[in-house]
Amino acid sequence: MSVEVDVQYAINADGLPSVSEIETWVNATVRGHRENVQMTVRIVDEKEGTELNERWRRSQGPTNVLSFPCEDLEGIAADLLGDVIICAPVVEREAQEQGKSVMAHWTHLVIHGTLHLLGYDHIDEDRAREMEALETRILDALGYPDPYGSVTES
């Protein structure tokens, strides 16, 4: 298995996950889905997070994670999954508001964004349940608690 993660830090802040931590989380997520993967994880500030969210999702303000999959683009390597953008200040704020460890929240959002690149989504209740159960299993294998409380598989 070959997983290449280009980690880009577009913000200078304390407490950001290391490249090796992000690579570990991505590896745990893609295992069993794809043999070879190339992707980018870009960590941004609120300004860039807001600009991307407003441009691509037509939503105001920053969001915690955005995923931009590369799907069947001619001339693009088949192993290229896409980009995950994570807004560091939003991650920090949400972790505090939700009473979670910041690192557990970072782990969850990298997994969540990577699953979107793999084709998972949460646009309806059944798909959301499937994605949340998978996130919970991956987080548990990495030693982190269930971010949703208790998710049951159907």
Answer yes or no: is 20 within a domain. yes
Give the SS3 label for residue 147. Answer: coil
Q: Could you tell me if 7 and 41 are in contact, meaning their C-beta atoms sit under 8 angstroms apart? A: yes
Answer yes or no: is 146 within a domain. no
Answer yes or no: is 87 within a domain. yes
* Prediction pTM value: 0.92
Host domain of residue 48: 2-141
Q: What is the pLDDT of residues 43-90, one digit of tens each?
A: 999 999 999 999 999 999 999 999 999 876 666 667 889 999 999 999
| CATH number assigned to the domain comprising residue 11 | 3.40.390.30
In the chain, the number of structural domains is 1
Q: What is the pLDDT of residues 45-57, one digit of tens each?
A: 999 999 999 999 9
For 18-59, the DSSP string reads PHHHHHHHHHHHHTTT-SEEEEEEEEE-HHHHHHHHHHHT--
Query: Distance between CA 102 and CA 113 in Å, rounded?
Result: 16
Answer yes or no: is 75 within a domain. yes
Answer yes or no: is 153 within a domain. no
Residue 60 has which token pair? 């105001």
